[in-house]
Structure 1
Amino acid sequence: MERWLLVSNCNTYGLARSLQLLSNSFHLDCVDVWQFKRNTQEYAEKIPTYDRVIVNPEVELSGYDFSTARNLCRIPNLEFDAYHPDFCFAGARGTRITEPMAASQSMIALAAFQAGLGIEETLMLFRRDVYERCGFLARWEPARDRLIATFATFGIDLSNSFRRWSRGEIFMHSLGHPKAQPIFDIARAFLKSQNVEINKTDILPFDTMVEAGCLPVYPEIGEALGVDGSYFFKLPGEYKLISLQKFIERSFEVYRGYDLNEIQVEPGFRNRFHQVTSVVAEIHA
């Protein structure tokens, strides 16, 4: 039996369990990128012994050379922002900000803070007409196309899977944290792309991503997408929900630890953040 190694990020264990459920053709070991970085010498010795090594392309950005792998395959992140178009990643002083909802920052909240608005004024910005002006209700098609194209680059066809996901419940917890079903379907599509025999089963692994922060789909956005929405945020590492107002309060508390314009949105979100900033400025001109 072949021996495989999976090296990925937050989805490592959900993806590994899905692969194990879907095929009996290999033995699978797995390690997340953080543990991998702590033990690179150990894995440098092990990697050449595996018949197949599967990595998330982001792992390669850490600088590790996987050229000793006999058969190197890649499964990228599933990233989809149409459910959560207000959110972005941002950093300050050379480090990504990871509070209050792990790495997810509200563009409206951050723009309002940098404009000098208070909690109540910021809370009033969370409404449909603001979302429309910010382009939040026009994210579905570009997000879908980007997702399908990203996986197609690695020979993984998710077009049919995406159609199924979009007809059901919300399939993402946050920008880059899918629920169990998409992870399972990615595992199946990957095995199909590698011509590996697949078990016929609909048993899903435990949804490990729910342990992290879970973002709400705002009700106005949910209405446009045909899903239920809310303004409750699930805190990372806790089974506790907080309100939108509490989320804004906690975000502002974090932002006050920096100079006003010290916080910078990461490059992939900057154009959209500039649009949000302009909308906030126009409303409070």
Structure 2
Amino acid sequence: MPAPAFSPRSWARPWRVRTSAPAPSRSSGPRIAVIGNCQADGVAQSLRLNLPGAQVETLPLARLAGRFGHLDRLVRHLAGADHVFAQFFPEGFVPGGNVHALAERVRLRLFPTILFSGFHPDLVHVGDEASLRLSRLVASPIGPYHSAIALFAFRSGLGVDAALRLYESEAFARLGYERMWDASAEYLLRTARDVGLPLDRDFARWCRAGVFMHTLNHPRLAVLGDIARRLAAEDGLPQRGLPVEAYLRDALAEEAVWPVLPPLAERLGVPGSTLFKGDGRTAPPRLLDLPDFVAESFALYARLPSAALACVRVDAWAGDPDIRALFEDAARRTDRAGG
């Protein structure tokens, strides 16, 4: 009788023998805290991608008071961090002081808040903009972003059809929109230099790549990736050098997106659109063409007290006779056309 064939001997442990799992090893990478507004998370994600083993924590400004209660507790929390990167924040976000008070007690590196209206010169905030708090801004049909033309037209008693006549090249020129690129660029580069992170070369590269902002305060992920790269390099942290936009989702693209309106897009040499995209983080985003966006904005303004419609730029327009004449002319042309 032939000998039975046996399977090769296995050195695996029997399944009945339980072995304790190895204790998780503590990461040997740097511990990094990123403090800032809605831009901080993109910077933190970029650092995680390009710094293998790094432990990166995002500390949103809006949650500092609720989480820590006082600057003292925030300081104690940050004592365990190897690197702290922070955007400017004034007093009021956490009791006990502003970012400068924090910098006196914690070694940190400031990085700039990216604000650039060159692609979206008609975009404004309505409400208490100086507070730097989203909760104190009036929402539009797509979020905390409004058209200055639509708001001033409403406050001046124009109708929707008259307002729509003003979204064209001549009106943009008279409103100074064509000059806002240079002014906005100067502001961005100056504020970056003020916090010790000059962005002149980065800005030139962003411009060559096309539209680099979703709204005036929401940069595309590649911009935040460059900020993260600069912060890591200047603190001597070795990086992978991966392009973050190829590996990570752009979270700010899921929120409101303001179009580059055609009269301006033609001048800048970038794709133009009149489609306004709403917040899509919790539900499919609303997409409104320009006439619908203006009409819904008018309906919203009509439900609010006039005191709620505060806007620095539009308030200034009210005292400018040339701008008032521009809007009055649009109203007359609409009346003559029977609109």
TM over 0.5: yes
1:168-247 equivalences in 2 (<5 Å): 168-204=209-245, 205-237=248-280, 238-247=284-293
1:201–1:248 CA distance, 2 compared to 1 (3 A): same
- Percent identity for Structure 1 against Structure 2: 25
SS in 1 for 2:127: strand
Matched, 1:56 2:87: yes
Distance change (3 Å), C-alpha of 1:256 and 1:151: same
Q: Which moved more, 1:274-283 or 1:214-223?
A: 274-283
Does the aligned pair in 2 maintain the 1:47–1:68 contact within 8 Å? no
1:232·1:244 contact (CA, 8 Å) conserved in 2? yes
Q: Distance in 2 between matches of 1:280 and 1:112?
A: 7
Cα separation, 2, equivalents of 1:43 and 1:215:
35
Query: In terms of mean alpha carbon deviation, does 32-41 or 171-180 score higher?
Result: 32-41
Task: Write the deviation string for residues 10-45 of structure 1: whole angstroms up to 9, x where unpaired.
Answer: 122211011122334742111222333321246454
Q: Deviation digits for residues 114-158 of structure 1, max 9, x if unmatched?
A: 011111111121111110100111222221121111111122121
1:25-81 Cα shifts (integer Å, max 9, x gaps): 742111222333321246454123323322221365524432575312222211100
- Whichever residue aligns with residue 273 of structure 2, its letter is S
SS in 2 for 1:53: strand
Q: Secondary structure at the match of 2:185?
A: helix
| Partner secondary structure for residue 258 of structure 1 | coil
Cα offsets for 1:168-208 (capped at 9, x unmatched)? 22110001000111111111122233333332222432100
Larger relative contact order, structure 1 or 2 (CA cutoff 8 Å, min sep 6): 1
Establish whether residue 139 from structure 1 lines up as the match of residue 180 from structure 2: yes
Q: Which amino acid aligns with 2:123?
A: F
Q: Which amino acid counterpart does residue 49 of structure 1 have in structure 2?
A: G
Change (3 A) 1:149 1:195: farther
- Match of residue 108 from structure 1: 149
Q: How do residues 21-170 of structure 1 correspond to structure 2 at under 5 angstroms?
A: 21-24=49-52, 26-41=54-69, 43=74, 45-58=76-89, 62-64=93-95, 65=97, 66=102, 69-91=105-127, 95-170=136-211
Deviation at 1:82, TM superposition (A): 0.8
Would you say the 8 A contact 2:258–2:277 is kept in 1? yes
Structure with the greater alpha carbon radius of gyration: 2
Structure 2: which amino acid aligns with 1:240? R
Q: Which amino acid aligns with 1:75?
A: F
- Please give the TM-score of this superposition, normalised by the length of structure 1: 0.89
* Change over 3 Å in CA distance of 1:174–1:44 after alignment to 2: same
Count of matched residue pairs: 283
The answer as to whether partners of 2:84 and 2:108 remain within 8 angstroms in 1 is yes
The aligned residue for residue 3 of structure 1 is: 31
What letter is aligned with 2:231? F
Match of 1:255 in 2: 301
Q: TM-score, normalised by structure 2?
A: 0.76
